[in-house]
Amino acid sequence: MSKNIKNLESMDAFFNERADGYEEHMIKNVDGADKYYAILAGLLPADRHIDLLDLGCGTGLEIDEIFLVNPDISVTGIDLSEAMMKILWKKYADKKIIKSLIKSDYFELEFGCSNYDAVVSVMSLHHFRSKKKISLYKKIFNCLRNGGIYIEADYMAPTQEYEDYYFAENNRIRVTQGITEGFYHYDTPCTVSNQIGMLESAGFQIIDNMWNCGNTTILKAVKERD
């Protein structure tokens, strides 16, 4: 299980440094990456305009596939990496699907109430603790319109032992480096059952495990209509 990590890097610095090779790395090295972007896109409405919020949008690999399924989308993307978002912006400079790209911490940014038809997060949330995730899921629930959906495609732990190990390692390394706060890149995936429990805590009642490949899982949560 162990990782050979000498020093943690801040989240924005980590991804800024690797922006140019990010897409190739994801496709070659992440379980199911040749399939899950298209599968995620197929879970979104394809027959009407949708307002989409993408958390941790990066270079927009998921947006590429979503746009093929539904060209009538309007995307608001949030990411800490300016270098990654510049790549995304260049892809769609001649199109009108990008409503806004925001360089920010999505845990701190307000999403508003009932502003979006769908929210997606791809390979982003496996870096954070459960308490942080639940707070984010509550904001996602509130920002969705009735009947709206949240889709998360992410690296998830195969067992509770696996999850506990990486959280403990993260804590150990932080103590060693004297890190007390801030976002630093280290993978701390949770189990699928724990992820579902967090979504339930945020108010979602319809949650489905849509797809799995190795340690990659796609979850779909629906905000029920009143």
pLDDT in tens, 104-133: 999 999 999 999 999 999 999 999 999 999
Residue ranges and CATH numbers for the domains of the chain are 11-222 (3.40.50.150)
Q: What is the pLDDT of residue 80?
A: 96
Confidence of residue 38 (pLDDT cuts 50, 70, 90): very high
Give whole-number Cα distances, 198 to 15, 147, 167, 185, 187, in Å.
Answer: 26, 19, 17, 22, 18
Q: What is the pLDDT of residue 2?
A: 45
Average pLDDT, the chain: 95
Give tens-digit pLDDT for 143-178: 999 999 999 999 999 999 999 999 999 999 999 999
105 CB-side CA count, 13 A: 10
Per-residue pLDDT at 198 exceeds 70: yes
Find the length of the chain. 226
DSSP H helix total and E strand total for the chain? 8, 7
Per-residue pLDDT at 202 exceeds 90: yes
Per-residue pLDDT at 43 exceeds 50: yes
Bridge partners of 218, per DSSP, are 153, 211
What gap in Å lies between CA 25 and CA 19, rounded to an integer? 10
- Would the pTM count as exceeding 0.85? yes
Give tens-digit pLDDT for 75-96: 999 999 999 999 999 999 988 8
Tokens of 9: 């890097």
Confidence of residue 101 (pLDDT cuts 50, 70, 90): very high
Residue 158 main-chain phi, psi, to 5 deg: -75, -25
Confidence of residue 6 (pLDDT cuts 50, 70, 90): low
Per-residue pLDDT at 1 exceeds 70: no
- Indicate if the alpha-carbon torsion angle 219, 190, 26, 77 is positive or negative: positive
